Amino acid sequence: MFRFTIFKVPVQVEPWFWLVMAFIGGGMNALSSNSIAAYTGVLLFMMAGFISVLGHELGHALTGWKFGGGRVWIKLWAFGGLAYQEGARLNRRNRCAMILAGPGVGLLMAVISILVLFVIFPAPEAILRMKIYLAYTMVPHADMLTIFPDDRPIYGFINAMIWVNLWWSILNLVPVFPLDGGQFMDQFVKSRKKMHMISMAACGVVILIMLSLNMTMGLLFFAYFAYINYNGYREARY
Ligand SMILES: [Zn+2]
């Protein structure tokens, strides 16, 4: 377990976090190709994933602390991050601000990363790179070299920052409990059964979109969320 404190917020990072980040960042592919560029790409993705998830959780933790006080801390584990708060007093408006601050920080980091792209490259190349970086899979460095012969592995970091922050923030805003969008929706829907039903319907829409785009990994996550909400629906009393 790796621990540190940032902006007075204690953070714990479990070993599983790095393993999952390495896997999403193309770890298996790197092991089979065994090239330095592929390993560098995985490491840069892990760094970008760490900064992105930490930034997202700091958005929740610092906003929650500012409005509600108490004690806040962050844990990065297998499936991303969690921001905890104990002994806080938050009204609905402040709780909504705290929920939205996570994806808000993510989207802000995506915009900053896109701006960096426009600072480094002339506009036509920056636009082309942005389109390639936003494609639903990460483009391996070897393939980037065929499109941009002077591509440097470090650009993979900007690639990952844009891809992770944009897509993960958008997916987090889908009204599926327990994602941020689902927690936000939960502030306004009184009936538990209705809340889980909206979540299941939203899962269905996301799963259909992911099926059509062949996004296997995301599909598994949303199938799991659908299962959680189905159980929640059955157990809810009202
Ligand atoms: Zn969040």
Please give the distance, rounded to the nearest whole angstrom, from the Cα atom of residue 179 to the centre of ligand 1. Answer: 7
Please give the distance, rounded to the nearest whole angstrom, from the Cα atom of residue 60 to the centre of ligand 1. Answer: 7
Please give the distance, rounded to the nearest whole angstrom, from the Cα atom of residue 50 to the centre of ligand 1. Answer: 14
- Give the residue among 74, 88, 81 at the shortest CA–CA distance from 8: 74
Residue 150 buriedness (CB in 10 A; 0-12 / 13-18 / 19+): exposed
Task: Assess contact for 57 and 102: CB atoms under 8 A.
Answer: yes
Please give the distance, rounded to the nearest whole angstrom, from the Cα atom of residue 67 to the centre of ligand 1. Answer: 17
Please give the distance, rounded to the nearest whole angstrom, from the Cα atom of residue 169 to the centre of ligand 1. Answer: 8
Task: Assess contact for 201 and 223: CB atoms under 8 A.
Answer: no
Distance CA 226, CA 205 (A): 11
Please give the distance, rounded to the nearest whole angstrom, from the Cα atom of residue 185 to the centre of ligand 1. Answer: 13
Distance of CA 168 to the CA centre of its chain: 3
Model's pTM, two decimal places? 0.91
pLDDT digits (tens, 9 = 90+) for 208-218: 999 998 888 88
Q: What is the DSSP letter of 151?
A: -
Distance CA 202, CA 200 (A): 5
Please give the distance, rounded to the nearest whole angstrom, from the Cα atom of residue 24 to the centre of ligand 1. Answer: 19
Helical (H) or strand (E) element with 66: helix 36-68
Q: Which two tokens stand for residue 15?
A: 């070993």
pLDDT for residue 136? 66
Please give the distance, rounded to the nearest whole angstrom, from the Cα atom of residue 31 to the centre of ligand 1. Answer: 31
pLDDT digits (tens, 9 = 90+) for 176-188: 999 999 999 999 9
pLDDT digits (tens, 9 = 90+) for 83-105: 999 988 899 999 999 999 999 99
Please give the distance, rounded to the nearest whole angstrom, from the Cα atom of residue 36 to the centre of ligand 1. Answer: 33
Every domain of the chain and the residues it spans: 2-173, 175-238
Lowest mean pLDDT among 7-16, 47-56, 128-137: 128-137
pLDDT for residue 204? 97
Please give the distance, rounded to the nearest whole angstrom, from the Cα atom of residue 233 to the centre of ligand 1. Answer: 22
